[in-house]
């Protein structure tokens, strides 16, 4: 009985604190675009003595579904989830990578049937199995006309690769139009490069969040995050709570974004 009472008390206090945080951030600015690097899935599984990293990756994927609901309910417009990097494709063992690819495919399929969300794959297809490419393409096509939360799935993604691909895309477009190298040199500016990124036409992330206490970008949205605010959580990916996210938003709302001024 004593344990139950403590649990109920903790839940009540948690609810009060959650409502308090919501009131606080309601008085400030919310980000339009939030980017999330969910980290710590493997450590989460290891700490629980689970037999494979796949348990951590599945728990992380389940948490991402929750995270998207939190964002949607608050009226955030765009969320980018960093799910699989180009480095992961060459750096993870084949068994773990195969399991992770299956989890990502399941996540993309599920999200494409949920609410009024629009799904977009941002990344390169190079090195991805055909089955995953087909699943990502189908999710994107299925939700192309939806007008709710825009969800970017960064799969096979690398910031440096993205910039290189953008440059190649610009060159190919100019070549197809019969323009000269001189024309190309004169036309290149940051706006043109931005249009040819995987996220072309979207707003840059206002807030980039990373879990597990790590404080690095890991080749994520290098171009787009030039003026982003960063927030680092200590919690491992599967352990983040809504109050952790609300704290991040409260912190963001208190910052003064200068954009170089």
8 located within any domain: no
147 located within any domain: yes
Tell me the C-alpha distance between 198 and 224, whole Å.
10
Task: Find the DSSP H helices in 49-155.
Answer: 53-74, 86-91, 94-111, 130-142
Out of 39, 72, 204, 206, pick the active-site residue.
Answer: 39
CA separation, residue 214 to residues 113, 210, 231, 235 (Å): 32, 7, 10, 10
Tell me the C-alpha distance between 13 and 223, whole Å.
41
Here the CATH number for the domain that contains residue 183 is 3.40.1180.10
Sites in the chain below the pLDDT cut of 50? 1-8
166 located within any domain: yes
104 located within any domain: yes
5 located within any domain: no
Question: Is 137 a residue of the active site?
Answer: no
- Model pLDDT, residue 9: 52
From the DSSP assignment, how many helices (H) and strands (E) are in the chain? 10, 6
- DSSP 3-state of 230: strand
| Predicted TM-score of the model (pTM) | 0.91
Question: What domain range includes position 105?
Answer: 30-254
Order of strands across the sheet with 229-232? 118-122, 150-157, 78-85, 33-37, 207-210, 229-232
18 located within any domain: no
Q: For the chain, how many structural domains are there in total?
A: 1
**Per-residue pLDDT reduced to its tens digit, 120-148:** 999 999 999 999 999 999 999 999 999 99
Question: Is 39 a residue of the active site?
Answer: yes
- Model pLDDT, residue 24: 84
200 located within any domain: yes
145 located within any domain: yes
Characterize 59-94 residue by residue with b for buried, 16 or more Cβ atoms within 10 angstroms of its Cβ, and e for exposed. Answer: bbbebbeebbebbbebebbbbbbbbbbbebbeebee
- Model pLDDT, residue 261: 60
Out of 72, 88, 204, 206, pick the active-site residue.
Answer: 88
**Per-residue pLDDT reduced to its tens digit, 49-84:** 998 999 999 999 999 999 999 999 999 999 999 999
Tell me the C-alpha distance between 167 and 193, whole Å.
7
């Amino acid at each position: 009985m004593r344990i139950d009472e403590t649990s109920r008390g903790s839940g009540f206090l948690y609810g009060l604190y959650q409502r308090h945080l919501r009131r606080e951030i309601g008085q400030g600015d919310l980000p339009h675009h939030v980017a999330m690097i969910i980290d710590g899935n493997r450590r989460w599984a290891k700490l629980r003595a689970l037999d494979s990293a796949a348990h951590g990756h599945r728990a992380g994927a389940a948490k991402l579904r929750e995270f998207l609901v939190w964002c949607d309910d608050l009226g955030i417009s765009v969320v980018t989830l960093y799910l699989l990097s180009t480095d992961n494709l060459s750096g993870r063992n084949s068994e773990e990578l195969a399991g992770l690819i299956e989890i990502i495919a399941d996540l993309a399929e599920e999200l494409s049937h949920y609410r009024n969300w629009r799904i977009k794959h941002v990344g390169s297809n190079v090195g991805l199995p055909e089955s995953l490419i087909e699943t990502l393409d189908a999710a994107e096509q299925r939700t192309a006309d939806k007008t709710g939360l825009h969800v970017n799935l960064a799969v096979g993604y690398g910031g440096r690769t993205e910039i290189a691909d953008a440059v190649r895309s610009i060159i190919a477009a100019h070549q197809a139009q019969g323009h000269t190298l001189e024309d190309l040199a004169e036309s290149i500016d940051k706006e043109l490069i931005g249009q040819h990124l995987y996220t072309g036409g979207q707003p840059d992330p206002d807030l980039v969040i990373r879990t597990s206490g790590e404080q690095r970008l890991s080749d994520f949205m290098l171009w787009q995050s030039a003026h982003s605010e960063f927030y680092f959580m200590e919690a491992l990916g599967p352990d983040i709570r809504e109050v952790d996210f609300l704290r991040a938003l409260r912190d963001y709302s208190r910052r003064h974004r200068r954009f170089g001024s």
